[in-house]
C-alpha cells in the first residue's frame, strides 16, 4: 500500500468526501468547508486549500484533526524506487551525514560567507576516512542501490575528500552532494536520483515557513540567501535545484501555490533557464517574478551578489522584481 492510499484510508473518517485524482487527494476543506475540489494533498507531503489558503505539512494536518500519525514516506512523482528501499537508503545517508559533520571544514564554508551556526544547522560535513570506513560496513547490495559504493565495492567519489552537503526533505536526508578542492562542479552519489528517491529541491523544508521564495541553481547560492533570511536580512529564503539545466516535475510540485522569484545566474545558461522554468511554473506558482541583476560585463550570481553588495542591495532587487 503506497503512502497516498494510506493517507486516504486514514482521513476518510474526518474527510468523508476525500477521493484520489491522479497523484493527488481532493476533498472539501476541513477548515473553511469549501467545496470538494478546493482542498488538495500532494505526494510530496503538503496540503493547500485554494479557498482559504491554509497550507502545511501532512503531519501537521493529522495533528490538527486529532488523528494518530501514520507511516508516511514523502516522495515526488518520478521517484520509482520501492518506498521500503528509499527508507533504508535515507537511513544510510543520515548515518553518513552524522559522521561527516564531525569533521567539517569550517574555514571552507566561512570563506563562502557562512557563519558557524548556519554551517551546523545545514549539517555540512567532510568526506573523510571515517565516512568511507562507515560505508564499508554497510550491507553491500543496499549500499550499491543507495549509490554509496561502486559495483566493485569502492566508495563513491562524492564521499572521498569532499565538502559534503546533505539534502533534507521533511527532516530526512534524501541525497548527498559535495564539492572537492580543485574540482569545478559538484559530485553526487552514484546512479539515478529517480531510483534512489532523491528528487527534491535543496532547502525545501523552508517552504513550510514562507509564501515567497527565490529559486536558484546550486546549493551554496541558496545557503547564503537562506542564512540572510534566517537573520531577518532578506524577506524570503532561497531553494536550489542542482544546476541551470536541471528540471523535474517534483520541483513544480514543491513550489505549487508559492510566489517564486527566479534568481539564476546572469550568464547565457542561467537566462535560458529563467525563460524555460518561468513557463514551467505558470499555473503552478501563484506568481513568477524575475530577479534582474545589475548591468555589467561579469557573470553575477545570487551568493556572489549578496557577499559583494550586501543584503540591503539584494532586498532592493527582490522588491523591484517584475512578473514574467
Q: Is the pLDDT of residue 239 over 80?
A: yes
Q: For the segment 100-154, what is each residue's pLDDT rounded down to a tens digit?
A: 999 999 999 999 999 999 999 999 999 988 999 999 999 999 999 999 999 889 9
CA separation (Å) from 176 to 10, 94, 225?
Answer: 33, 10, 20
Q: Is the pLDDT of residue 287 over 70?
A: yes
Q: Is the pLDDT of residue 286 over 80?
A: yes
Burial of residue 323, with CB atoms counted within 10 A of its CB: 0-12 exposed, 13-18 middle, 19 or more buried: exposed
Which of 4-13, 88-97, 216-225 has the lowest average pLDDT?
A: 4-13
| Radius of gyration of the chain from its Cα atoms, rounded to whole angstroms | 20
Mean pLDDT for 230-242 is 97
Domain 3-64, CATH class in plain words: alpha beta
CA 140, 144, 147, 153: dihedral to nearest 10 degrees?
70
Where do we find the cell 545557503? 223
Which pLDDT score, from 0 to 100, does residue 1 have?
42
CA angle 237, 240, 243 (to 5 degrees): 155
Give residue 113's region: left, alpha or beta (phi > 0; psi -120 to 50): left
By percentage, how much of the chain surpasses pLDDT 70?
Answer: 93
Q: Is the pLDDT of residue 232 over 70?
A: yes
Q: Is the pLDDT of residue 60 over 90?
A: no
Task: Give the Cα separation of 210 and 102 in Å (integer).
Answer: 31
Which pLDDT score, from 0 to 100, does residue 78 have?
46
Higher pLDDT, 169 or 223: 223
pLDDT band at 297 (very low <50, low <70, confident <90, very high): low
pTM: 0.78
For residue 314, give the nearest of 289, 294, 288 by alpha carbon: 294
pLDDT band at 189 (very low <50, low <70, confident <90, very high): very high
Which of 74-78, 192-196, 272-276, 281-285 has the lowest average pLDDT?
A: 74-78
pLDDT band at 77 (very low <50, low <70, confident <90, very high): very low
Which pLDDT score, from 0 to 100, does residue 41 have?
86
Which pLDDT score, from 0 to 100, does residue 10 have?
76
Mean pLDDT for 209-237 is 97
Higher pLDDT, 222 or 63: 222
Which pLDDT score, from 0 to 100, does residue 307 have?
96
Which pLDDT score, from 0 to 100, does residue 169 have?
86
For residue 29, give the nearest of 41, 38, 20, 17 by alpha carbon: 38
Q: Is the pLDDT of residue 7 over 80?
A: no
* Assigned fold of 83-196: DNA primase DNAg catalytic core, N-terminal domain (3.90.980)
| Whole-number average pLDDT of the chain | 88
Q: Taking the domains of the chain in order of start, what are their residue ranges?
A: 3-64, 83-196, 204-323
Q: Is the pLDDT of residue 222 over 90?
A: yes
Which pLDDT score, from 0 to 100, does residue 69 have?
57
Mean pLDDT for 218-224 is 97
Q: Tell me the three-class secondary structure of the chain, residue by residue.
A: CCHHHHHHHHHCCCCCCCEEECCEEEECCCCCCCCCCCEEECCCCEEEECCCCCEEEHHHHHHHCCCCCCCCCCCCCCCCCCHHHHHHHHHHHHHHHHHHHCCCCHHHHHHCCCCHHHHHHCCCEECCHHHHHHHHCCCHHHHHHCCCECCCCCECHHHCCCEEEEEEECCEEEEEEEECCCCCCEEECCCCHHHHCCCCCECHHHHHHCCEEEEEECHHHHHHHHHHHHCCCCCCCEEEECCCCCCCHHHHHHHCCCEEEECCCCCHHHHHHHHHHHHHHCCCCCEEEECCCCCCCCCCCHHHHHHHHCHHHHHHHHHHCEEC
* Assigned fold of 204-323: Dna Topoisomerase Vi A Subunit; Chain: A, domain 2 (3.40.1360)
Which pLDDT score, from 0 to 100, does residue 79 have?
52
Amino acid at each position: 500500500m503506497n503512502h497516498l492510499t494510506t493517507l486516504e484510508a486514514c482521513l476518510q473518517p474526518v474527510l468523508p468526501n476525500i477521493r484520489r485524482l491522479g497523484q493527488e487527494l481532493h476533498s472539501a476543506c476541513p477548515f473553511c468547508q469549501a467545496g470538494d475540489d478546493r482542498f488538495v494533498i500532494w505526494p510530496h507531503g503538503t496540503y493547500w486549500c485554494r479557498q482559504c489558503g491554509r497550507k502545511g505539512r501532512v503531519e501537521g494536518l493529522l495533528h490538527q484533526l486529532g488523528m494518530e500519525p501514520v507511516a508516511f514516506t514523502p516522495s515526488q512523482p518520478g521517484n520509482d524506487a520501492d518506498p521500503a528501499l528509499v527508507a533504508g537508503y535515507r537511513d544510510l545517508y543520515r548515518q553518513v551525514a552524522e559522521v561527516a559533520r564531525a569533521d567539517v571544514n569550517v574555514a571552507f564554508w566561512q570563506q563562502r560567507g557562512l557563519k558557524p551556526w548556519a554551517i551546523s544547522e545545514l549539517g555540512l560535513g567532510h568526506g573523510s576516512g571515517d565516512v568511507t570506513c562507515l560505508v564499508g560496513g554497510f550491507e553491500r547490495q543496499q549500499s550499491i542501490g543507495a549509490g554509496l559504493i561502486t559495483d566493485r565495492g569502492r566508495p563513491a567519489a562524492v564521499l572521498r575528500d569532499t565538502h559534503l552537503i546533505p539534502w533534507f526533505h521533511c527532516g530526512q536526508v534524501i541525497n548527498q552532494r559535495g564539492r572537492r578542492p580543485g574540482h569545478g562542479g559538484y559530485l553526487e552519489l552514484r546512479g539515478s536520483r529517480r531510483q534512489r528517491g532523491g528528487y527534491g529541491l535543496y532547502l525545501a523544508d523552508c517552504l513550510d515557513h514562507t509564501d515567497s521564495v527565490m529559486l536558484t541553481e546550486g546549493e551554496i547560492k541558496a545557503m547564503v540567501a537562506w542564512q540572510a533570511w534566517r537573520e531577518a536580512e532578506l524577506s524570503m529564503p532561497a531553494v536550489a535545484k542542482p544546476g541551470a539545466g536541471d528540471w523535474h516535475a517534483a520541483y513544480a510540485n514543491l513550489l505549487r501555490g508559492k510566489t517564486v522569484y527566479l534568481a539564476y545566474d546572469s550568464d547565457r545558461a542561467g537566462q535560458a533557464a529563467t525563460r524555460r522554468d518561468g513557463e514551467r511554473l505558470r499555473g503552478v506558482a501563484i506568481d513568477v517574478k524575475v530577479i534582474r541583476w545589475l548591468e555589467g560585463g561579469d557573470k553575477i550570481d545570487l551568493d556572489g551578489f549578496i557577499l559583494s553588495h550586501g543584503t540591503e542591495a539584494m532586498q532592493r532587487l527582490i522588491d523591484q522584481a517584475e512578473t514574467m
